[in-house]
Amino acid sequence: MSYFLYNASVLLALTASALITPTELVPDALLIIRDGKIEAVGSREQLEVPLAARVEDYESGILAPGYIDLHIHGAAGHDLMDTTPAGMKAIEHMLSAHGVTSYLPTTLTASVDLTVKALDFLAGYIESAAENAEDRTRPVGIHMEGPFLSHAKRGVHPPQQLQTPSIDLLDRFWQASRGHIKLITIAPELPNAPELIAEATHRGVTCSLGHSNAIAAEARAGIAAGACHATHTFNAMRPLDHREPGILGVVLTTPELYADIIADGVHVDPAIIQLFLRAKGPDRAVLITDALSATGMGDGRYKLADIEIEVRGPVCRDLNGTIAGSVLTLDLGVRNIMNYAGWELAETVRLASMNPARSAQLAGKGELVAGADADVIVLTPTGEVIETICGGHLPA
């Protein structure tokens, strides 16, 4: 490994035993970061370390793209529907500790006024976070889980607040979010759902099929209108039937559709996770957490918006016994996939980085390639997080 005089704006050079791009495994790796962007990626034989750079050698560690959680309701005792800037920072510091560098704060079905209030707060926080370089994960958009969901498959979403799809209501939410909505979960069988999907897609929003009792034809109509993702596959979906495959059959057999899953061993049995991975493969499978405020807090009672949740070990239920979110962290989800399916780390990392970035249209995220944002995590060979680097900022 040699050194040469390089542009003085280069701040950081990371070395490690290997690097996951994640489509390629680079041995004896060197990653050069300048002004929060990746300048160069390669082996130490291919690249030279800039003289002006601060060098961090992770020896036996593996560099990988920072994880992206598209579906999270809270963590560290704070709920994303009603938290404060201080609460948001507490959530983000916890996410950073588990390898997440970007996330979509996710709203729960609530009254229109409360939803608008939450969207306005989250939009302001996203804009503020974009202006302030700090060493923690950042929100990069909003995921609206509801209110356009099926009554039959609503889970814990309050039935009185569910809404019929309406472009006027979508526009009200869009204006409140100042265009920061990146993902919407919608049941495609609802009246006007294809029209709303088409309009949201036109605005650059990823539409995700979920909380749905759709038959196959209704799910296909949603995809034809522009839906390109599915929310927590198997959960809150019409079950698979051999004569009417329904939404689940369509999700599993549509090659171009991204689909996410909660790999905590509670929401979906490990054998079904193997089935899911065989159907969607490394190109279209996505890991999420659906994490609640209870994440990282231990057993007890917590709130999901206004809903009281009982947490015992890895299981979260409302007081009626319905499973409600998780206390999963994304790094554990990656390790679970490795254990459940026998996948290698390099293959599994893609499910928590490149795939969510591509599905939610997050430019510059999810890959360690020249020009991308310098969101980097350092992992052990078994997937434990050693360090998280957000936007090229080393932890203090």
- Active-site positions read 290
Which burial class, exposed, middle or buried, applies to 321 when counting CB atoms under 10 A from its CB (0-12, 13-18, 19+)? exposed
Calculate ∠ Cα 384-389-390, nearest 5°.
125
Question: In the chain, where does DSSP find H-type helix?
Answer: 85-97, 112-131, 167-177, 193-202, 216-225, 246-253, 270-284, 330-341, 345-349, 354-359
Please list the residues that pair with 117 across neighbouring strands: none
CB atoms within 10 A of CB 199: 19
CA nearest to 355, candidates 65, 72, 95: 65
CB atoms within 10 A of CB 34: 21
User: Cα 374 to the chain's mean position, in Å?
Assistant: 17
| Position 93, amino acid | H
Distance CA 217, CA 170 (A): 24
Distance CA 89, CA 111 (A): 26
Distance CA 380, CA 116 (A): 42
Distance CA 114, CA 133 (A): 30
